[in-house]
Amino acid sequence: MLSVAEAKELISANTLLGSPVAVPLEHSLAKILGSTIYASQSIPAYEQSAMDGYAFQFDGWKQQSVLEIAGEMAAGAAAPLSITAAQTARIFTGAPLPAGADTVVMQEKVRVQDNQLIIDDDELQKGSNVRSVGSEIRAGELALPQGSLLTPAAIGFLAGMGIHEVPVYPAPAITVIVTGNELQTPGKPLQYGQVYESNSFTLRTALQQMQISPVSFLTVEDDFDKLLHTIAQALSSADMVLLTGGVSVGNYDYVARALEVCGVTPVFHKLKQKPGKPLYFGTRDQQLVFGLPGNPSSVLTCFYEYVYPCIREQMGYAETTLSAVHLPLLHDFSKRAGLTHFLKGYWSEEGVKVLQAQESYRMQSFAVCNCLIVLPEDVTDLHKGQSVEVHLLPH
């Protein structure tokens, strides 16, 4: 069996960055920019007022002190306006400066008498309250480099330059196959020997949390021929296939053999870890296949530790893995040597504690945990206050 570190290296070695695709700007949130963007024009494209007030020529005002109000400029004005050195124009935030004006005084600093403007601002300087051409960005300047995370602010910045679509690294097309004869759909009554199917709900929402949607879901019984057909169907269109269940060594665990028949080359099968020891990873050309164990806690643990970073690497993120910190353990803990343990935990400013209900079939602790505590293979006895590695779960 491979170690956790060896398995993660093999997955990364078989993971390729996707080719950028153009998407509408409003659909680019949380994606990674696939190429560098330069400004095609200067923004603002004309001199604008930075506030409501009056626009005028500074030197003309210094010579005359009182200015005649010659017109008005509102944001979105359809026609230009010109003023002389002895004139001023009422102006509003974002409006173009009239020709001949170079300064704006805020309306709180003026008096108007008989269509004459008297300015009461001893600190006013030439060019005050004016947004110059290109003060946001000049034509040809770098706007955002390739690899930038598209946040709401970044999207607003690009929209302000007139950009309506951007190249991004796409999410892989994912198909999830849920296997098992014992599974019943939530909302229906359980028959003898059945359990409610939850893995599709867990994976669907975990992928939605990663901004990956839609995802295809298929279900199949523990029947070899039916499994072959379902895997072939998934591989016909998916970039990544996630299977749950059927990867262990039981009489009805057909996944590994069926994948081989379908042309998938195994990279590894079984790791020195708990939970999720039977984890499978294989490839078919550039398609990636994960065989996740069937137990719900194992599914989600393996998803966060292996599938999550793989998807993020395909999508161009600089940070692919869960955020890792080291925190003091709040109590003693012991385990056997030989396997890396991923334990559901809860961290706070004081440290981190191991939760109850760690069995791989139980989701009770996962439902309230906020981290996975990573205990290496050779670790056995841990004491209160000892530093441990903690992987923070997305929220």
For residue range 254-288, list pLDDT tens digits in order: 899 999 999 999 999 999 999 999 999 999 999 99
Contact partners, residue 386, CB within 8 Å, separation at least 6: 328, 329
Are the C-beta atoms of 76 and 60 separated by less than 8 Å? Answer: no
The model's pLDDT over 144-166, given as tens digits with 9 standing for 90+, comes to 999 999 999 999 999 999 999 99
The model's pLDDT over 15-59, given as tens digits with 9 standing for 90+, comes to 999 999 999 999 999 999 999 999 999 999 999 999 999 999 999
State the pLDDT at residue 78. 85
How sure is the predictor about 395, in pLDDT bands with cuts at 50, 70 and 90? confident
Domain assignment present for residue 341? The answer is yes
Pairing of strands 333-334, 287-292: unpaired
How sure is the predictor about 331, in pLDDT bands with cuts at 50, 70 and 90? very high
Mean pLDDT, range 85-96, rounded to an integer: 97
For residues 180 and 282, membership in a common domain is answered with yes
How distant, in Å, are the alpha carbons of 229, 290, 295, 310, 346 from that of 366? 33, 21, 13, 22, 10
For residues 39 and 105, membership in a common domain is answered with no
The CATH number of the domain holding residue 358 is 2.40.340.10
Domain assignment present for residue 137? The answer is no
State the pLDDT at residue 164. 97
Q: What percent of the chain has pLDDT over 70?
A: 99
For residues 163 and 176, membership in a common domain is answered with no
Residue after which a domain boundary falls, among 282, 314, 346: 314
Q: Within 13 A of 143's CA, how many CA atoms are on the CB side?
A: 28
Residue after which a domain boundary falls, among 314, 336, 357: 314
For residues 351 and 215, membership in a common domain is answered with no
For residues 233 and 304, membership in a common domain is answered with yes
Between CA 346 and CA 313, with CA 320 as vertex, the angle to 5 degrees is 145
* Sequence letter at residue 270: K
**What's the CA gap between 217 and 169, in Å, rounded?**
23
| DSSP code string of 219-278 | EE-S-HHHHHHHHHHHHTT-SEEEEES--SSSTT--HHHHHHHTTPEEEEE-BSEES-TT
Other beta carbons less than 10 A from residue 357's beta carbon: 15
For residues 157 and 182, membership in a common domain is answered with no
| Tokens 């009239």 -> residue | 98
The CATH number of the domain holding residue 31 is 3.90.105.10
Record the tokens describing residue 118, joined without a space.
């008297």
Q: How many structural domains comprise the chain?
A: 4
Domain assignment present for residue 328? The answer is yes
The CATH number of the domain holding residue 195 is 3.40.980.10
Domain assignment present for residue 238? The answer is yes
How distant, in Å, are the alpha carbons of 13, 248, 270 from that of 277? 21, 9, 5
Is the pLDDT score of 247 beyond 90? no
For residues 239 and 294, membership in a common domain is answered with yes
How sure is the predictor about 248, in pLDDT bands with cuts at 50, 70 and 90? confident
State the pLDDT at residue 217. 96
Q: Which of 7-11, 109-113, 212-216, 324-328 has the lowest mean pLDDT?
A: 212-216
For residues 53 and 127, membership in a common domain is answered with yes
For residues 361 and 338, membership in a common domain is answered with yes
Q: What percent of the chain has pLDDT over 90?
A: 93
Domain assignment present for residue 77? The answer is yes
How sure is the predictor about 323, in pLDDT bands with cuts at 50, 70 and 90? very high
State the pLDDT at residue 251. 61
For residues 190 and 301, membership in a common domain is answered with yes
**What's the CA gap between 184 and 261, in Å, rounded?**
28
Is the pLDDT score of 213 beyond 90? no
* Sequence letter at residue 287: Q
The model's pLDDT over 112-122, given as tens digits with 9 standing for 90+, comes to 999 999 999 99
For residues 352 and 304, membership in a common domain is answered with no
For residues 269 and 345, membership in a common domain is answered with no
Domain assignment present for residue 253? The answer is yes
Domain assignment present for residue 140? The answer is no
Mean pLDDT, range 298-306, rounded to an integer: 98
How sure is the predictor about 383, in pLDDT bands with cuts at 50, 70 and 90? very high
Residue after which a domain boundary falls, among 131, 160, 186: 131
The CATH number of the domain holding residue 100 is 2.170.190.11
Record the tokens describing residue 144, joined without a space.
């955002």
Return the sign of the alpha-carbon dihedral for residues 154, 172, 247, 337: negative
Residue numbers of the domain that contains 54: 48-131
